[in-house]
Amino acid sequence: MKDYYAVLGIERTATKDEIRKAFTRLAHKHHPDKKGGNESKFKEVNEAYQVLSDDAKRQQYDHVGTTGGAGMGGNGGWDFSNFSGADGAGMNFDFGEIFSDFFNNAGGRAGQRIRRGRDISVDIQIPFTEAIFGTERNVLITKVGTCDTCQGSGASENSTRKTCATCNGKGQIQETRRSFLGNFTTARECETCNGSGKVPEKPCATCHGRGVLRKTEEVKITIPAGTDNGEMIRLSQRGEAIPSGVAGDLYVRVHVEPHQTFKRDGHNLTMNLEIKLSDALLGAEYAIKTLDGQITLKIPEGINYGEILRVKQQGVPQGHATSKRGDLLIRIITKTPTKLSKKARILVEELKGEGV
């Protein structure tokens, strides 16, 4: 088995949040749509995330283990990749291919592998407030999608689909290979019908019988409340379509615009509030405009520079739910006057004399 923890570069004790962050970073790095992306790495990262982000799957995976025993290959089976025969003379057999085909398709009895379209990604930018409370976006994406004319059937209107003559409706072509281990019967997908076993009698004029074509499609994206900057949202089967298969996934990377007043600190929001020196000494009330509206903040007398005042339930929603939220943390900045009037100076001198 693959070591999914190593794939994501995390410890086995990693939390769900650490798993999500590792996946977001690596998925963005390796996505095949990006320059320098790696489709194989991207799929490997996605596979690891699908297992480790699910409690039940993760528990089962941890119980089974991550590697085979001594002498085992990285896929949990014997590694024959460098085998050259007992006498060292090279033998022209691809053991990896033989055993893979044998165990997956022996005699054509195994179930057909589900064909899956390519995953795609898109970046969107939203204001700070919308990231806190959630929002929706309609995005135009150019991709390979299902043909609207034939609804993916590949057949023209009023035309039926007939049995594929190449595979006789089986969707697979069986082949027998000979090796020193014996004969192995394998099955591969029929290229004529793309594994469906059916072909249109009269192909659709729009997609020429394929059922898919490149087009621009509007996708509605729901941004959950509390979405953080750089977070990746996965839309299942909204990626590119494929003939006689399921569509890939769409990954939406969210970029949150900075706010002039507020900053995010986990589930809390932070801000600075500048107050007068006299208000710091005597106490006061200040009108504060939060993301939820205006509130009145009471400044206690004798408050120190840098002290934090907490306003509960005015922060970031937790777990993409608006019912439970973090707090608003207000840092007090005392404004010291640079120039004093004659009267003010006398008063400060009196305070100095009292040890203030």
Confidence of residue 109 (pLDDT cuts 50, 70, 90): very low
Residues 154 and 238 in one domain: yes
φ and ψ at 259, to 5 degrees? -105, 145
Q: Max alpha carbon distance in the chain (Å)?
A: 107
Q: Is residue 72 one of the residues assigned to a domain? A: yes
Residues 241 and 306 in one domain: no
User: Is the pLDDT confidence value at 171 over 70?
Assistant: yes
User: Is the pLDDT confidence value at 181 over 80?
Assistant: no
Residues 236 and 320 in one domain: no
- Please report the pLDDT score of residue 308 as a whole number: 97
Residues 250 and 278 in one domain: no
| Domain CATH number, residue 2 | 1.10.287.110
| Domain CATH number, residue 165 | 2.60.260.20
Q: Is residue 89 one of the residues assigned to a domain? A: no
Residues 251 and 116 in one domain: yes
| Residues composing the chain | 356
The full 3-state SS of 277-313, as one line of letters, equals: HHHHHHCEEEEEEECCEEEEEEECCCCCCCCEEEECC
DSSP 246: B
- Please report the pLDDT score of residue 90 as a whole number: 38
Residue (of 298, 261, 253, 257) closest to 280 by Cα position? 298
* Domain that includes residue 178, residue range: 108-258
What is the average per-residue pLDDT within 2-22? 88
Angle at 71 between CA 98 and CA 61, to 5 degrees: 85
Instruction: For residue 184, give the amino acid letter.
Output: F
Q: Is residue 284 one of the residues assigned to a domain? A: yes
What's the structural domain count of the chain? 3
Residues 114 and 182 in one domain: yes
Q: Tell me how far CA of residue 39 lies from CA of 20, 25, 128, 231, 268, in angstroms.
A: 19, 15, 32, 20, 37
Confidence of residue 36 (pLDDT cuts 50, 70, 90): confident
For the entire predicted model, the pTM comes to 0.60
- Please report the pLDDT score of residue 39 as a whole number: 83
What is the average per-residue pLDDT within 333-353? 82
